[in-house]
Structure 1
Amino acid sequence: MASDESESVGLLAEIARRYFIEHETQDTIGRALGVNRMKVNRLLREAQDRGLVEIRVRFHSSQTREIEQEFCDRFGLKNLLVAPDAQSAELRRSNVAMLVSTYLESNLKENSVVAVGMGRNVAAVAAVQTNRTFQSINFVCGSGGASEAGEEGNADHICRALARRYGGTATTLYSPAFVPDADLREALMQHETIRRTMNLARSADFALIGIGDLGPDSHMARMGWFTEDEFKRAQASGVVGDLMGYDFFDRAGAPCNAEIGGRVIGLSRDDLRLISTTIALASEPSKVTAMLGALRTGSINILATTLSNCLSVLELAKKDK
């Protein structure tokens, strides 16, 4: 049975290589391999379903080039990664993740260190099939862990998944993500094990982080770390979003931590500024205001989101003048 499986995978890979890379027709492939055209077509679909083939559409136009330039000029970004829009939240997240994965494949180098945050958008990057692997990339947790997040939502799980995709190793931050008060957080941050891992994360070449908001489906709300009253007080004080669950900010990007800040063990906005390439992912239309505030913090230099979100962010920014 194992031999049949191996032969089947080999046939699928050969057909996919001839069709997608060598650009042979299905008829030509069928004649060369002794199968009919209908079977070639079926096996090509099977190769995609089994993950042997991944089709990536590079979304670019004169419109997106203009938007990228405006974002770079207005917010001081290195780059803007613009994904096509989609009806479902899952597909929007996947489209954004594919762009980020392609960027990493092109820009990662051996011995790079990548600090990794938590959340669904960051986790989606680890689900993308890669076309390039490395030997010595180190994916290090940029925040502690939380049982409420489940495996997929935790930075540790995401780091391990990224290491499997890209090659290299994963470094765990042996700490809870959330603690009850700022004093306990500061004490834990001085622990030698935690301090060593945090220093490694601060020295990273790249960071992958999400942008949080205070909506009912936000990561913070799903974690249950803050009460409804705390959320309301935070919103009343001007909070529109967060970076890494630690640094909350208002629409102008100014720190706004009085109500619910300082309770998560992870990289701060100042730490992120030390990292040469900090990529923030946000696929949800509900995060447009949070994206604007995050861009104004000066802590991120690449934003990955959808086209409609880009247009909405620019519209909000122009209203503030």
Structure 2
Amino acid sequence: MKQAQSTSPKNKRDLLVKIAKLYYYEGLSQQQIADRLFMSRSNVSMLLKSCEDNGVVVIRIVDSESKAVDMAARIKDKYSLQDIQIATSHSDPEITQDNAGALAAAYLERHLETGMKFGFSSGRINLNIISHLDFSDFVKVDSVALSGCLSGKYSKYGNIEIAHSFMSKLHGDAYTVNAPMMVQSKALKTLLLQEPLIQKVFQQFPHLDVALLAIGTAKFPHRMAMHDGQLSSADVLQLIEMKAEAVICGRYFDIQGSPCNAGINERILAIDLETLKRIPLRIGVAVGSERASAVKSILRSGYVNALIVDEFLARCLI
């Protein structure tokens, strides 16, 4: 009975699908699949061929490089960008994120030189970028966090931890705003800006040569949790009324790319927009088609002049 069940059409197709996923999705070799499924390598090879014969796997040759070049040219022209890089998308979002990180790292390696100052905003993409940074020649570049901290809890995505990681790759000094990105009142912000340690960080902003800006979506009410409670209910209601669509460095923008003139702007410890726009190279980074509206907003704002996205997101922009 077991032998008959194992060779039924349904079970055979299930086996073909399993082998195809191991080979094409997870990247296992034929020998690794054979070891995992307790069969011979020649049997795995035969079954992979059967995947094609039975329509489990359909192989198409697509000139993805020329398509990416065409998409990049259209987006660059549409939004008047200096440059755009498009990373390969994958069915696994984590792989897509890593692909974008590798592309951003390579881009920074081409543009950062000794003596420069490099600013970065908060975003999980930073970890992917740092893991791929590998300069062929020694550089000494200062890294500067563009805003205060999002949370009081330790996080591998936190500005202090990210600044330290960038410092290990860039060999320069690291500057972080050791205070919340959003404080309780305008008066408190004024007092904090008088602190010498915080002043020293803000004094770096006008001298930045390159800024890396993670483009975030303005989704409510989840945004409250992401800011560790720094956004009040009144803040959220005001941003919703202003149709906030995107956020960079704690600054919100509507779909047309206009900055939201919200009350929180008086309480944010971050680079101001005028100073940000004077940075020569401002690289926006985003991954995933769900960020399309946010990226369009920031592109229309003019606060980024270079862009790194994945293929799925790039298609949405044109």
Q: TM-score range by the shorter chain?
A: 0.7 to 0.9
The TM-score with structure 1 as length reference comes to 0.72
Q: How does 1:61-210 map to 2 (within 5 A)?
A: 61-148=65-152, 150-210=154-214
Cα 1:128/1:262, change in 2 over 3 Å:
farther
Deviations 1:111-132 (A, max 9, x none): 1110121121233211225253
The one-letter amino acid paired with 1:254 is S
Can you list the C-alpha shifts for 1:124-147, whole angstroms capped at 9, x where unaligned?
Answer: 211225253534211112112243
CA contact (8 A) 2:238 2:262 kept: no
Retained in 2: the 8 A contact 1:277–1:302?
yes
CA distance in 2, matches of 1:134, 1:147: 33
Do 2:215 and 2:248's aligned partners in 1 also have CA atoms closer than 8 Å?
yes
Return closer, same or farther for 1:292/1:192 CA change in 2, 3 Å cut-off.
same
1:238 corresponds in structure 2 to 243
Q: What secondary structure is seen at the aligned counterpart in 1 of 2:213? A: strand
Per the alignment, residue 226 of structure 1 pairs with: 231
SS in 2 for 1:151: coil
Paired position in structure 2 for 1:312: 316
In percent, how many aligned pairs have the same letter?
22
For structure 1, the residue ranges without an aligned partner over 5 or more in a row are: 1-58, 315-321
Match of 1:32 in 2: none
CA distance in 2, matches of 1:231, 1:83: 33
Matches within 5 A, 1:269-288: 269-288=273-292
- Structure 2 distance, partners of 1:139, 1:218, is 30
Change (3 A) 1:296 1:178: same
In structure 2, relative to structure 1, the CA distance for the partners of 1:70 and 1:187 (3 Å cut) is farther
- How many Å apart are 1:270 and its aligned residue? 1.7
Q: CA deviation at 1:206?
A: 0.6
Give the conservation status (yes or no) of the 8 Å contact 1:130–1:166: no
Q: Does the alignment pair 1:303 with 2:303?
A: no
Contact 2:142 2:170 in 1 (8 A): no
2:271 aligns to what?
A: 267
**Higher Rg of the two aligned structures:** 2
Q: CA deviation at 1:204?
A: 0.8
On the 8 A contact 2:96/2:287 being kept in 1, the answer is: yes
Q: Which runs of 5+ in 2 are unaligned?
A: 1-62
Partner-residue secondary structure (3-state), 2:148: coil
| CA–CA separation in structure 1 for the residues paired with 2:224 and 2:305 | 23
Matched residue type, 1:235: I
Cα deviation, residue 207, structure 1: 0.7
CA distance in 1, matches of 2:154, 2:80: 35
Deviation at 1:294, TM superposition (A): 0.7
Relative to structure 1, the CA distance from residue 148 to residue 81 in structure 2 (aligned partners, 3 Å threshold; closer, same or farther) is farther
Question: What CA distance in whole angstroms lies between the structure 1 residues aligned with 2:279 and 2:285?
Answer: 16
1:228 deviation in Å? 5.3
| C-alpha distance in 1 between matches for 2:70 and 2:282 | 22
2:258 aligned partner: 254
Alignment of 1:23-38 (within 5 A): none
Cα RMSD, aligned residues only: 2.4
Q: State the TM-score, normalized to the length of structure 2.
A: 0.72
Distance change (3 Å), C-alpha of 1:200 and 1:213: same
1:214 CA displacement: 2.2
**60 and 160 in structure 1: CA distance in 2 versus 1, 3 angstrom threshold:** farther
SS of 1:195 mapped into structure 2 = helix
